[in-house]
Amino acid sequence: MNVGWLFEQHNNHELPVAGRLRSAFCPVFLVGLIVSYLCVSQAEAKHPIAGKYKIIAGFVLQLTSFVVWPQTNKKQLEVCIAGKDPFRDYIDQMVQSRPTNRLDQTIVLRRIAMDDNITQCQLIYSHNDNIEKLVEQISPAQPILLVGEGKNFIGRGGMIHFYQERQQMRLEVNLTTVQRHQLTISSELLKLVKLTDQPNGMKKQ
């Protein structure tokens, strides 16, 4: 599956999401995926959100198809949103429109506080709200993917960082930390991301 379309973001946030992604040269054969995950109209979502977070919501859900957790026979994946929730009900509508990923695993959304029990989560999104609390809770034995955004997200212990560059949404991946937590990222996705392989995001001097 070609995943390059995920990295395109049009700078006109007034267009519907589908229109913005088509404007970003999305291949025709991926229209089905766009409709399934990213074509939730603002009319369906009760609370409007910034265009940036429509794109990130799509990233978060699509990651469940490009990351392998140790429990390969797991039929359900819990995606947890910790602390501040920039997606509001928009991401819920996305999951309702397509409740399974490409591996036929059911996606379950859960909102949690920063100090809640996280053992049931397979993926946690944090909006840069004191992610250190989450990092402290996740032991190497726990296959939990910590994703999010914000200043020095990787350096503070995050695994996948969403950031904007030249009006496109990009991913930065700390592969060392991801692998330490027994997670495997698809080679398809790794070809398209910025890799940071130093522990805790630290660069070599």
Q: What pTM did the predictor assign?
A: 0.78
pLDDT tens digits for range 160-196: 999 988 878 899 999 999 999 999 999 989 998 999 8
CATH number of the domain residue 43 falls in:
3.40.50
B/e letters for 75-109, b = 16+ CB within 10 Å, e = fewer, are: eebbbbbbbeebbbebbbbbbeebebbeeebebeb
Residue 114 within a domain? yes
Domain that holds residue 15: 4-194
Residues 124, 146: contact at Cβ < 8 Å?
Answer: yes
Transcribe 93-131 into DSSP letters: HHHHH--B-TT-PEEEEEEE-TTS--TT-SEEEE-SSST
- Give the integer Cα–Cα distance in Å for 145 and 22: 29
Residue 205 within a domain? no
pLDDT tens digits for range 121-130: 999 999 876 7
- The sign of the CA dihedral 129, 132, 136, 141 is positive
Query: In total, how many domains does the chain have?
Result: 1
Residue 142 within a domain? yes
pLDDT tens digits for range 45-91: 566 677 889 999 999 999 999 999 997 677 899 999 998 899 989 99
